[in-house]
Amino acid sequence: MLIRREFLELLRTKPMQSISIKELCTAAGINRGTFYSHYTDIYTSFSMLRTLSCRTIYHYG
């Protein structure tokens, strides 16, 4: 998903606490409404990203 990919890109250059939803939405080319339809805040998006990463690692070994 585009939001997750751009979030990972931003995490390469700055800590999560410094990433704003506006910045993430701009990088992903989406509006804030789209972000909020999937996540409640930046920490929720990070938690979902972490969960998906763990599932992928577990599934593919």
Specify the CATH number for the domain of residue 20: 1.10.357.10
Question: Would the pTM of this model clear 0.85, i.e. be above it?
Answer: no
Quick one: tokens of 39? 């996540």
**Total domains present in the chain:** 1
**Domain range spanning residue 53?**
2-60
Q: How many CA atoms lie within 13 A of 48 on its CB side?
A: 14
- Please count the residues of the chain: 61
SS3 31: coil
Chain centre distance of CA 60: 21
Query: For 5-46, what is each residue's pLDDT tens digit?
Result: 898 899 999 998 999 999 999 999 999 999 999 889 988 888
What pLDDT is recorded for position 55? 77
The sign one gets for the Cα dihedral 8, 17, 38, 35 is: negative
